Amino acid sequence: MSVDQVSVGADQFARSKVSGKTTNGYGALTAKAKLAPFSFERRQPREHDVVIDIEYCGICHSDIHQAREEWGEAIFPMVPGHEIVGTVKAVGSKVKKFKVGDRAGVGCFVDSCRTCPECRRGLEQYCSVLTSWTYNGREQDETTPTYGGYSENVVVDENYVLRMPENLAADGSAPLLCAGITLYSPLKHWQAGPGKKVAIVGLGGLGHMGVKLAHALGAEVTVLTGSGSLLRDLGSGNFRQVGATLRSNHQYGFCRHKLERIFETVEGGRRHGGRRHSGEGERGGGLLHRNGTAKSCGVGNRRDSGDAGNAGFLRQAQHCQRC
Ligand SMILES: [Zn+2]
Ligand SMILES: [Zn+2]
């Protein structure tokens, strides 16, 4: 333990400046209400907790969906935000992974049951019992609501805190904690590696992460867009700079039966684009290679789109049906 590390037990925390202090944030008081200043109390930090002063928090489209209660009954007041980057302000007496002053991040969840088979395997994001989402969720007591990163600070068990490299800009790296992992996990799982012909459908928040990560992994990247204006506005040269080729929908024929991996990032991609890009029929369809795999990464605005509510969707996919 370094000398500059603040080491306090639960009792001391109760008297510290951290505990009992009001946290200021922005919250939606009811579904569809505009965000407004909202003050609340974080929990008393425990022995394994890390207190993070939040410096940046990304805005994820799921923040909007949940604040509008588009994914079913939500918990209000709601403080959104699950792309959190900040600096460790204090640590509990048994914290081993962090010290005061470290750069730290928090993603989509802040706790899990820790006892189910997935948690025991270190795959807490697939917890089959109770995931404590960073906001619009409950702590493991199934009662206490969680509040997200549109706020001054957050208190999280060290096992659910991520170390953020000092050489990454705090603002630019915050979106890695949701949008980034949402693409990185399926790209790795489906082996989007060197020489693989990989397509990213859509170029929004998820899509541009997918393009950069797939390129960095060594894949041969094609961006598929239904928007002709994207090509006109950005120009194909910008895509070549990151090693990608842009194809608008009237150019899909170039890719017919060639793509080994397709990652859909458009909202509701399964409904609107899944068959068109990966399956049979429809003009320009059948883009997947014989042994290809198509994966829907975007979550639509309705929970019945089949993906929302379980991070397990990161590894599920549909395969080419022609073989
Ligand atoms: Zn998100
Ligand atoms: Zn679990």
Q: Indicate whether 266 and 163 sit together in one domain.
A: no
Ion ligand 1: residues, CB < 5 A: 60, 62, 178
**Which ligand neighbours the alpha carbon of 59 most closely?**
1
Residue 130 in any domain: the answer is yes
Q: Indicate whether 163 and 183 sit together in one domain.
A: no
Collapse the DSSP code of 38 into the 3-class scheme (helix H, G, I; strand E, B; otherwise coil) and give the result: strand
| Ligand 2 center from residue 121 Cα (angstroms) | 9
Q: Can you give the residue range of the structural domain that contains 145? A: 7-175
| Ligand 1 center from residue 179 Cα (angstroms) | 6
Please, are residues 47 and 13 in contact by the beta-carbon 8 Å criterion? no
| Ligand 1 center from residue 99 Cα (angstroms) | 27
**Which ligand neighbours the alpha carbon of 61 most closely?**
1
Residue 37 in any domain: the answer is yes
**Which ligand neighbours the alpha carbon of 81 most closely?**
1
pLDDT at 188: 93
Q: Indicate whether 157 and 248 sit together in one domain.
A: no
Please, are residues 100 and 90 in contact by the beta-carbon 8 Å criterion? yes
Farthest CA pair distance, the chain: 67
Ion ligand 2: residues, CB < 5 A: 112-113, 116, 119, 127, 129
Q: Indicate whether 154 and 278 sit together in one domain.
A: no
Please, are residues 34 and 105 in contact by the beta-carbon 8 Å criterion? no
**Which ligand neighbours the alpha carbon of 118 most closely?**
2
Residue 135 in any domain: the answer is yes
Collapse the DSSP code of 100 into the 3-class scheme (helix H, G, I; strand E, B; otherwise coil) and give the result: coil
Residue 233 in any domain: the answer is yes
Q: Indicate whether 167 and 187 sit together in one domain.
A: no
pLDDT at 32: 80
Q: Indicate whether 170 and 306 sit together in one domain.
A: no
Residue 1 in any domain: the answer is no
Please, are residues 129 and 75 in contact by the beta-carbon 8 Å criterion? no
Residue 118 in any domain: the answer is yes
Number of domains the chain is built from: 2
User: 260: part of which helix (H) or strand (E)?
Assistant: strand 259-264
Q: Indicate whether 143 and 238 sit together in one domain.
A: no
> Residue holding tokens 């008081």?
29
CATH code of residue 198: 3.40.50.720
Residue 2 in any domain: the answer is no
Q: Which of 124, 155, 175 is the last residue of a domain?
A: 175
Token pair listed for 291: 């042994």
Q: Which of 117, 145, 175 is the last residue of a domain?
A: 175
| Ligand 1 center from residue 306 Cα (angstroms) | 16
Q: Which of 151, 175, 199 is the last residue of a domain?
A: 175
- Local confidence pLDDT in tens for the 323 residues of the chain: 232 333 333 333 333 344 457 999 999 999 989 999 999 999 989 999 999 999 999 999 999 999 999 999 999 999 999 999 999 999 999 999 999 999 999 999 999 999 999 999 999 989 999 999 999 999 999 999 999 999 999 999 999 999 999 999 999 999 999 999 999 999 999 899 998 999 888 888 898 899 999 999 999 998 887 766 766 666 666 677 667 777 776 677 777 777 888 888 886 544 433 444 443 333 335 888 877 788 777 666 544 443 433 344 555 555 544 43
Token pair listed for 86: 């900040």
Cis peptide leading into residue 145 (ω within 30°): no
Q: Which of 206, 140, 211 is nearest to 176 (CA)?
A: 206
Q: Indicate whether 161 and 51 sit together in one domain.
A: yes
| Ligand 2 center from residue 189 Cα (angstroms) | 21
Instruction: Say what the pTM is.
Output: 0.81
How far, in Å, CA of 128 to CA of 67, rounded?
25
Q: Indicate whether 125 and 271 sit together in one domain.
A: no
Q: Indicate whether 187 and 161 sit together in one domain.
A: no
Q: Indicate whether 54 and 146 sit together in one domain.
A: yes
Q: Indicate whether 239 and 114 sit together in one domain.
A: no
| Ligand 1 center from residue 19 Cα (angstroms) | 28
**Which ligand neighbours the alpha carbon of 123 most closely?**
2
CATH code of residue 128: 3.90.180.10
Please, are residues 103 and 170 in contact by the beta-carbon 8 Å criterion? yes
Residue 204 in any domain: the answer is yes
| Ligand 1 center from residue 58 Cα (angstroms) | 8
